Chain A
Amino acid sequence: MHVVWLFLYPIVALVVGVLFLGLSRKVMARMHWRYGPPILQPVIDIIRLFSQRSASHGRLFDLGIVLSLAGSLIIVLFLPFGDVAPLSGSGGLLVILYMMLLGPLGIALSAGESANPNASIGISRKLMLAIGYELPLLLVLLAFMSRYNTISIVEVVRLQRATGWSIASFPLVVSGVAYLLILPAILAIRPFELVQAPQEISSGPMVEYGGSYLALAKVQHALSMFIGISLSVNLLFGGASHPLIFLLKMLVILMLGLFVNAAFPRLRIEQAIRYLWRWPSLIGLVGLVLAVVIGR
């Protein structure tokens, strides 16, 4: 059973991620006063991209994207979906923290190979942004770890079932707010959609991606969306015992994210970093201190 889940789970994550992509396009369209594409449009896009010929720019170019995708897939395995978490025992939050860097790094590796100035600008933005949100994320995760006294995310979820959602419990609410503040950056939505920034740097790292590379990048994007939302549900909103309830919670988070996405333009990278290192980090630090002081 366990082994089956190991293979099934990433697929579920992928499906959910892609559906979320479709849904987000639909919801955005509504706020734009239009109908938007069919919900399955991203699936069609990905199929189309896989069937197109694509030019490679070298081995690292191929490898990087796979690496990034692998990173995301591994994270997925650590995240409980409802009650199920294929790799629940080991690592947990720390693994996630590390693996979350793998995505940007892989893309950076790959895109760096394409020698397109837009791509290199995009990479630098991506890495800076990753560094930008890693710091508050670390603070948040540390607060959770010290509060719940565990590094396993499954444990966190289990404990919340006893104590209520951590977002509703003091002092974790502070860290929770900090997490929500960096969530747009993790999801790479506006105002932090500055890695792709099609109007500025022609979709940045992806500028040379075509065909199956782009398809993989899209898949990776869908997965990272899943990861970001799933992590917040697990950490802040108590996870769920039933996958459907879990999905519902994810949906709510997604909607909140989309509202923000629809309401703001994108920031410049230095403004983004300044923001991330100021308010979320500050709040995260306060949250950590409170968690350490008030906690056991």
Chain B
Amino acid sequence: MDRALIDSLSSTFDALRVEVPREDRLTVQAPRDAVMSVLSFLKGRGYDHLHMVSCVDWMEEGQFELVYVLSAYGTGQDSASNPGEEIILKTRIPRELPTVVSSISLFKNAEPYEREIHELFGVRFEGHPRLTPLFLERDYEIPPFRKDFDTRQYVEDFFGSIPPVGEEDQDV
């Protein structure tokens, strides 16, 4: 991993926790407000490929963790970034009031990811143009990917309550 990038990251932003768990991997823990500026900083440094936006529910700590995985396409002339390296940018947001600024303005493909996280975790993305349901047909009381949604219990309660039809003349 480029040493200069790490240095400039920590000199540009306060309150970043930067780790290098592997030679070609950088983990950055940023506060919620700094996410967009860190993302745009990284994009400016040639990390123009947003792999995914993910969300982890740390229920016991009462937080959601949003995860942005970035790497480089490696086509820009000036960027020294190597496409084989990934940057994992993480931020924690409170579970009660999960809102975060949408990153669509920087990366267009963040749109469905954020839509999905909104649907499955209930995180609100400010500035997202369509936070409409993506996958689900039914409403669930708790967004189903949260840790407190027990899918086995749900299946037992809900699908278990649907009776078979025409039992009496099964013996066709």
Question: Do A and B touch each other in the complex, judged by CB within 8 A?
Answer: no
Using CB atoms and an 8 Å cutoff, list the residues of chain A in contact with chain B: none
